[in-house]
Amino acid sequence: MAQVPYIAAPSVPTINTFLNHDFRISSWLLTKDHKRIAILFMLSITLFFIIGGAAAALMRINLAAPNGWLVRSETYNKLFTAHGVIMVWFFLIPSIPTVLGNFLLPLMIGARDLAFPRLNLASWYLFITGGIITLAALVLGGVDTGWTFYTPYSSSFSNTYVILTVFGIFISGFSSILTGLNFIVTVHQLRCPGLTWFRLPLFVWGLYATSIILVLATPVLAMTLALVGIERIWHMGIFDATHGGDPLLFQHMFWFYSHPAVYIMILPAMAVESELITCFSRKAPFGYGFIAFSSIAIAVLGFLVWAHHMFVAGISVYSGLVFSFLSMIVAVPSAIKVFNWTATLYKGSIALQTPMLYALGFIGLFTIGGLTGVMLATLGIDMHVHDTYFIIAHFHYIMVGGSVMAYLGGIHFWWPKITGRMYSDWWGRISAIIIFMGFNLTFFPQFILGYLGMPRRYHTYPPDFQFWNILSSAGASILAFGYLLPLIYLPISLRYGARAGKNPWRAAGLEWTTQSPPIEINFETIPIVTGPAYDYPRVLTETQSGQS
């Protein structure tokens, strides 16, 4: 693989990178280079984000008035289903692992590629196939079951394109499994000499924990959705009480995947966060071991809490008590992380550049999302606010306030490494602030709406709730504007941005020791690690002497 073409041509002024050694379409569609696959994923999930966002925008426009002036209830059902399905499976779950993880994992551990490059490409094809099938279902007429596909709605009562959607998710599930498998084997087998486990960047620990969930939870979803399909085709009755089955069985199996799936979304976000906070505080993280092991703890404990989604669905009160208790325990490792990040900031030399603003926004929003999560784990409160906007606000604080902020922060942090160009930091900071404010204005009112009793998934509501809904819709338009900005200034930077150099942020980590954008084989020679991660005193002296 690493032969003549990549070393030759020194007379050309441009440097050789993974981007410009071959421009044919086939060199992208058949690439085995983890960096190119990461970019394929980045483009595809951005597309899905826009589609899912459009569905959300339509919902918020409709909810600006209480009478459901824009869409009928059937259309509204299809909108929130499309929004949930696309955002969960085709944006959030692949976002950080497949884009940043794919690009950075080999660079961070000093490897030339992931362990199974061909599987990695297969993973993208599975993802895109699943995505197209699901989009086809939405174009053909949509699905109205909600992203959770609760039986018996999805098995007996819906006459929409459930099977096609479920099939698309089933296929993209194998993409998740292959990505997780690839990451696990890569971390075990391909670390460069001297890179022991406790010298790994915290991003790698986070990705490893995420991969464990990906490989152990996703097959459960795949089989459960397959059973829903079988149930619909042959009217089987596994989830149908009239045939002796049990609808709650579906919820058990579904949440065994879908609760850990929340951690698939937030663990890599936390991993990005650890990198950003340390870099822009110019300090080693406070409590490296605690941050590393709390990721593993979250991955494991995350599997023990799923039935807190079912407190009012008719599960036994005794197991409700157990699940309530276990759910609160998960808050402990999450809190450890938040405390460690803030302690890292303490007496750091903080630089408020774009990625850091996203990182600080993440801490605030994730804390609100996490604390309301502890409230919801309490049986009594959950009974009261279940299926209201309180839940919506809570999980958007985690998934959007947490994961999307971290994804954007990560993109802004590693953009110079991926593209070799600097974007406008001023616009970056403006967009981070707009997104933070727009987000809070959108979702904080929903906490209040939920507390006041407004149920989720209705296209109309009593006029009493209109004030808070208008606030939320106004916030959503600010948020949408904030998301549009990076879509404009980041591409502009590709042409007009300043050249980034190896290490524009003066950050620690092996990925910053190779050129930007990296050459196709990542490193001319495999690096040898001799010291701990985040050795900022050393990095700062080295970059001072003109290496960047």
Partner 1 sequence: MARVEYLNPPYQDLDQQSHSAELGMWVFLATEVLFFGVLFTCYAMLRMRWPAAFRHGSEDLNLWMGGINTAVLLTSSTFMALAVRAARAGDSRWIITHLAITAALGMVFLGLKATEYSIEYREHLIPGLNFANLSPEDQGKPASQQNARPEQERLFMIFYFVMTGFHAVHMLVGIGVIVVLIILTGRGAYGSGYHSPVEIAGLYWHFVDIVWVFLYPALYLLRQS
Partner 2 sequence: MAKQSESARIYWVIYFTLLFLLGATIALAFVDMGHHWNTFIAIGIGCMKAGLILLVFMHLHWRDWLTWFFAAAGFIWLAILLTLAAADYSTRNHPSHSSPKGEPTLLAPSE
Residue 328 near which of partner 2, partner 1, none (CB within 5-8 Å, type-dependent)? none
Alpha-carbon span 225 to 176, nearest angstrom? 15
Q: Does 235 bind partner 2 (CB under 8 A)?
A: no
Q: Does 236 bind partner 1 (CB under 8 A)?
A: yes
Query: What's the min distance (Å) between Cβ of 233 and partner 1?
Result: 8
CB 113 within 8 A of CB 189: no
Nearer to partner 2, 191 or 396 (CB): 191
Q: Which helix (H) or strand (E) holds 372?
A: helix 354-377
CB 96 within 8 A of CB 161: no
Residue 227 near which of partner 1, partner 2, none (CB within 5-8 Å, type-dependent)? partner 1
Please spell the DSSP secondary structure of 420-481, one letter per residue: SB---HHHHHHHHHHHHHHHHHHHHHHHHHHHHTPBSS-S---GGGHHHHHHHHHHHHHHHH
Looking at residue 512, the DSSP 8-state letter turns out to be G
Q: Between 241 and 260, how does the x/- string for binding to partner 1 read (CB under 8 A)?
A: --xxxx--x--xx-------
Q: Does 150 bind partner 2 (CB under 8 A)?
A: no
Count of chain residues binding partner 2 (CB under 8 A): 21
Nearer to partner 1, 227 or 490 (CB): 227
Q: Does 121 bind partner 1 (CB under 8 A)?
A: no
Q: Does 306 bind partner 2 (CB under 8 A)?
A: yes
440 in the Ramachandran plot: left (φ > 0), alpha (ψ -120 to 50) or beta? Answer: alpha
Residue 306 near which of partner 1, partner 2, none (CB within 5-8 Å, type-dependent)? partner 2
Counting beta carbons within 10 angstroms of the beta carbon of residue 541, is it exposed (0 to 12), middle (13 to 18) or buried (19 or more)? exposed
CA distances from 17 to 64, 416, 421, 524, 528 (A): 49, 13, 13, 12, 22
Binding residue (CB under 8 A) for partner 2 from 150, 250, 303, 407: 303
Q: Does 499 bind partner 2 (CB under 8 A)?
A: no
- Helices (H), ranges, 88-201: 93-94, 102-108, 117-140, 162-189
Q: Between 184 and 223, how does the x/- string for binding to partner 2 read (CB under 8 A)?
A: ----x-----------------------x---x---x---
Largest CA distance in the chain: 76
Residue 314 near which of partner 1, partner 2, none (CB within 5-8 Å, type-dependent)? partner 2
Q: Does 100 bind partner 1 (CB under 8 A)?
A: no
Contacts to partner 1 by CB under 8 A: 1-2, 106, 111-117, 177, 180-182, 184-185, 188-190, 215-220, 222-224, 227, 230, 234-238, 243-246, 249, 252-253, 521
